[in-house]
Amino acid sequence: EIVDAGGLIALPGLVDLHTHLREPGGEEAETVATGSAAAALGGYTAVFAMPNTDPVADSPVVVEHVWRRGREVGLVDVHPVGAVTVGLGGERLAEMGMMAASPAGVRMFSDDGRCVNDPLVMRRALEYARALDAVVAQHAEDHRLTVGAQAHEGPVAARLGLAGWDPTAEESIVARDVMLAATAGARLHVCHLSTARSAAVLRWAREHYEVRVSAEVTPHHLLLTDTAVQDYDPVHKVNPPLRPAADTEALRRALADGTVDCVATDHAPHAVEAKDCEWSAARPGMLGLQTALPVVVTTMVATGLLDWRGVARVCSEAPARIAGLTDQGRPLTPGEPANLALVDPDAAWTVRGAELASRADNTPYEGMEMPVSVVHTMLRGRWTVRDGKVQDGEVQGHG
Ligand code: DOR
Ligand code: ZN
Ligand code: ZN
């Protein structure tokens, strides 16, 4: 099959370290099938499925189920992330070794689903991960601070003119876990880094310690600021929250200078009821897979902070390296089936949530113009998207 790639930019297939596919248990918001379609349309060839499902992905059975569904759908490589803990409060360590040994071959674990606010549990998880040569992805959300503030104090604090949404919820965990990782000799990955001071902590830690730490930033934290939240539209409710413009600026610079290694979507689909309600009742999270690359272009390329080479690095090469993927995020070897995203740098489009392939429509970019389009995506030599349309797979998406 020949496609005309004249005028298009070829990128290695994009790799997302932070996707919520909601299966099992949240199929009214997304499934492996609909999320895979959204990923392929966004130029992705590999996604890491976060474990905060129902049941939580803390056992070989659940991770194997997600992995198997990904293979059946066949639009993108779905790598399940295992939860580091089990138990209601996440007080016990999960059988990380069993998940690593399962056909899913889990190599990334996360506290998602049950935030690890206990440093001793986190330290043990890091030690276990080190023994498995796996990475621990830390959400750095102490919900006693972030969700509490966002759900309840946020609007009240705003009315009273107080600063809500304490950034130290994130910064204190980043600082703590960088130290714990250094002590354990383990690899730590910081999810959705969102403040200037978190980036400063990373710089400081790398300068002073032998620490193996990586970090991601979301497209929405690169583009949107807390001014978007002033009307308390639940579509802008997300963890970590949208931050002041000074943080957004600092995050762009941190991504450009390598302090932050990569972009990850935190694609978080929610059913209509979870967003079509008042702020305090709404669930946090926003769609990201189909808009990530254009938002990176808007915030990083159009501003001169990165060139397309840099885009390949932060959206594909770096995440593949962090996750230990050997078949993604690198230049082609002659004769090898390719993972590719072909992008039209001049094809602008307007975001309509209802037209996205996700089952949910909670995009914060409704009506916004995106500057570039993913035209074709190839997974191991087979087109998963051609001319902006999903090929094969179990679903075509409704886009
Ligand atoms: O990391 C996150 N995951 N942040 C959010 O705001 C939403 C979320 C989810 O919905 O799972
Ligand atoms: Zn999170
Ligand atoms: Zn998330």
pLDDT tens for the chain, residues 1 to 399:
678 889 999 999 999 999 999 999 999 999 999 999 999 999 999 999 999 999 999 999 999 999 999 999 999 999 999 999 998 888 899 999 999 999 999 999 999 988 888 899 999 999 999 999 999 999 998 767 655 445 445 555 555 443 447 788 899 999 999 999 999 999 999 999 999 999 999 999 999 999 999 999 999 999 999 888 878 889 999 989 899 999 999 999 999 999 999 999 999 999 999 999 988 788 999 999 999 999 999 999 999 999 999 999 999 999 999 999 999 998 778 888 999 999 999 999 999 999 999 999 999 999 999 999 999 999 999 999 999 999 976 654 433
239 ligand 1 Cβ < 6 A: yes
> Residue 139 CA: which ligand 1 atom is closest?
1
Catalytic positions, please? 266
Mutation pick for ligand 1 pocket among 22, 23, 28, 52 (CB with most ligand atoms within 8 Å) = 52
Instruction: Decide: 12 in ligand 1 pocket, CB within 6 A.
Output: no
Q: Which of 269, 272, 350, 376 is nearest to 31 (CA)?
A: 269
The residue to mutate among 115, 216, 236, 266, having the most atoms of ligand 1 within 8 angstroms of its beta carbon, is 266
Q: Which is the closest atom of ligand 1 to the Cα of 52?
A: 11
CB contact at 8 A, 358 and 54: no
What is the longest distance spanned by two Cα atoms in the chain? 64
42 CA → ligand 2 middle, Å: 21
Determine whether the shortest distance from the Cβ of 220 to ligand 1 is under 6 A: no
Q: Is 139 in the pocket of ligand 1 (CB under 6 A)?
A: yes
Residue 110 beta carbon below 6 angstroms from any ligand 1 atom: no
Query: Which atom of ligand 1 is closest in space to residue 268's alpha carbon?
Result: 10
Closest ligand to residue 284's CA: 1
Using a 6 Å cutoff on CB, does residue 313 contact ligand 1? Answer: no
Give the Å distance between the CA of 114 and the centre of ligand 3.
12
Q: Is 238's C-beta closer than 6 angstroms to any atom of ligand 1?
A: yes
Predicted pLDDT at 318: 98
Residues in Cβ contact with 191 at an 8 Å cutoff, skipping those fewer than 6 apart: 18, 110, 112, 137, 138, 139, 140, 216, 264, 266
Gap from CA of 269 to ligand 2 centroid (Å): 13
0.90 surpassed by pTM: yes
Cβ atoms of residues 139 and 191 within 8 Å: yes
Q: 17, 18, 19, 20: which to mutate for ligand 1, most atoms within 8 A of CB? A: 20
Q: Which ligand is nearest to the CA of 18?
A: 3
Q: For residue 284, how far is its CA from the centre of ligand 1 (angstroms)?
A: 6
Decide whether any atom of ligand 1 lies within 6 Å of the 271 Cβ: no
According to the model, what pLDDT value does residue 162 have? 39
- Residue 264 CB less than 6 A away from ligand 1: no
Name the residue with the closest Cα to ligand 1, atom 11. Answer: 268
Torsion sign, CA atoms 236, 15, 296, 214: positive
**pLDDT computed for residue 393 by the predictor:** 64
User: What is the residue with the minimal CA distance to atom 7 of ligand 1?
Assistant: 285
Q: Which position has the token pair 């979507």?
A: 265
Q: Give CA–CA dist 310/303, Å, rounded.
A: 13
Pocket of ligand 1 contains residue 115 by CB under 6 Å: no
- Are 219 and 249 a contacting pair, CB within 8 Å? no
Q: What pLDDT is attached to residue 142? A: 78
Report the amino acid identity of residue 7.
G
CA-nearest of 305, 318, 173 to 249 is 305
The predicted structure's pLDDT at residue 395: 52
3-state SS record for the chain: CCCCCCCCEEEECEEEEEECCCCCCCCCCCCHHHHHHHHHHCCEEEEEECCCCCCCCCCHHHHHHHHHHHHHHCCCEEEECEECEECCCCCEECCHHHHHHCCCCCCEEECCCCCCCCHHHHHHHHHHHHHHCCEEEECCCCCCCHHHHHHHHHHHHHHCCCCCCCCHHHHHHHHHHHHHHHHHCCEEEECCCCCHHHHHHHHHHHHHCCCEEEEEECHHHHHCCHHHHCCCCHHHCCCCCCCCHHHHHHHHHHHHCCCCCEECCCECCCCHHHHCCCHHHCCCCECCCCCHHHHHHHHHHCCCCCCHHHHHHHHHHHHHHHHCCCCCCCCCCCCCCCCEEEEECCCCEECCHHHCCCCCCCCCCCCCEECCEEEEEEECCEEEEECCEECCCCCCCCC
The pairing of strands 187-190 and 212-217 is parallel
Q: 329 CA distance to ligand 3 centroid (A)?
A: 22
